Amino acid sequence: MTEVGTITLTDNVTGKTLTLPLLEGSTGPRVVDIRKLYAATGYFTYDPGFTSTAACDSAITYIDGDEGVLLHRGYAIADLADNCDFLEVCHLLLNGELPNAEEKVDFARTITYHTMVHEQLARFYSGFRRDAHPMAIMCGVVGALSSFYHDSTDIFDPVQRKIAAHRLIAKMPTMAAMAYKYTAGQPFMYPRNDLSYAENFLYMTFGTPCEPYKVNPILSKAMEKIFILHADHEQNASTSTVRLAGSSHANPFACIASGIAALWGPAHGGANEAVLKMLEEIGSVERIPEFIARAKDKNDSFRLMGFGHRVYKNYDPRAKIMRETCYEVLGTLGIKDEPHLAIAMELEKIALSDPYFVEKKLYPNVDFYSGIILKAMGFPTSMFTVLFAVARTVGWISQWKEMIEDPAQKIGRPRQLFTGHPARDFVPLDKR
């Protein structure tokens, strides 16, 4: 970042002025450096949700919501989704550059041979109820990794940081598939080193010991796309949680577990699950006009899930890719008369043509299409957020690594605007 000027603030109460540096990154809005604001004025800033506050500088992901731009290390998400597999994108996020041919082979081999989990970790699953939500299981088992891998918890050792990153990326699909198998009452399937990352996940999730499982190449390709499109998304709620947890120098496994907990919320990673619940509520194509009218009514609490995005005020750049993948998957599986999918397709048609949605730029987003794809592939809705966590792990660990290696970072300590009682005298019990 570069100082490109200053901004002067005037305190209209005292008449004093304060000059603050104006910083500029490689792209995006300029930033007012307020690090000395409190020391100079005794004032804090007030920004609920941190919607106008940069808590860090980062070189990993850039989003321009107004223009519908998403870049990873400078590369457009569409280029990565069309030309790379997921592990290439993992290498890019972690190391800053796409791998060459030799690096790609080495990285894929490293991840592949880290996919197995300690056999004792498998016993952790039996401690959960059979009907436990898979995200509850993931919070527990990912945090428990720190009790198995003491050789990669020294966050100040770059070699151990690297090993921890590789372990998390490799083992997350294994643990996610085990969470599914446990709730389904099926035996765990061990990873296979002859399969790709996405193929392995589908095999461990849907394969059984009873018969050979053949991975459908269209479905594994779709899984790769879903993983790539969810790999990182700048400073969102779960990523910021990982950074905040990491700022206390917690071990990386605990930090990723905290990210999973934040992702679980329906306002974040649970959005595609919410899409399916909305489709269930609508029930039939004939009832769509009723719900469209409710969505337009400011006094009605009903919301169309999967339309619009807090960040993107234009079309979500991931949605176009996911839309193409959606139709490819539905065509491959021959799904035409599934009620929820019929509702979804009609909603999409309306949203892309209805003046109300077009004017407000309420386009279908990535969650809308990913929910449809995952349902068509056979995933229960409870697994949707788990798949999000599998994909986002590389983004979390890349952001965590960047934060640990940044000498300017400090332990997170947000301020508050206190609105409670000021100091008051204590009243004894017999006088209250």
Strand 69-72 to 17-24 pairing: unpaired
Contact 282/380 with Cβ under 8 angstroms?
no
Which one of 85, 232, 316, 367 is the catalytic residue? 367
Q: Which residue has the tokens 């790999």?
A: 231
What's the CA gap between 112 and 36, in Å, rounded? 47
Residues linked to residue 3 through DSSP beta bridges, in sequence order:
23
What's the CA gap between 97 and 354, in Å, rounded? 42
Which one of 309, 340, 421, 430 is the catalytic residue? 309
Residues linked to residue 211 through DSSP beta bridges, in sequence order:
208
- Tell me the DSSP string of 280-319: HHH-SGGGHHHHHHHHH-TT-----TTBS-SS-SS--HHH
Q: Hey, what are 7's tokens? A: 């901004």
What's the CA gap between 40 and 271, in Å, rounded? 42
Q: What are the distances in angstroms from CA 398 to CA 150, 165, 222, 401, 418?
A: 20, 8, 24, 5, 35
Residues linked to residue 5 through DSSP beta bridges, in sequence order:
22
**309 in catalytic set:** yes
Q: Hey, what are 106's tokens? A: 């080495």
**340 in catalytic set:** no
Closest CA to 135 of 30, 22, 263: 263
Question: Please, what is the Cα angle at 376 between 329 and 303, to 5 degrees?
Answer: 110
In 230-383, which ranges are continuous DSSP H helix? 237-246, 252-263, 271-282, 288-296, 317-333, 339-351, 355-359, 366-377
- Tell me the DSSP string of 41-84: HS-----GGGTT------SSEEEETTTTEEEETTEEHHHHHHH-
What's the CA gap between 164 and 169, in Å, rounded? 9
Cite the active site residues: 309, 367
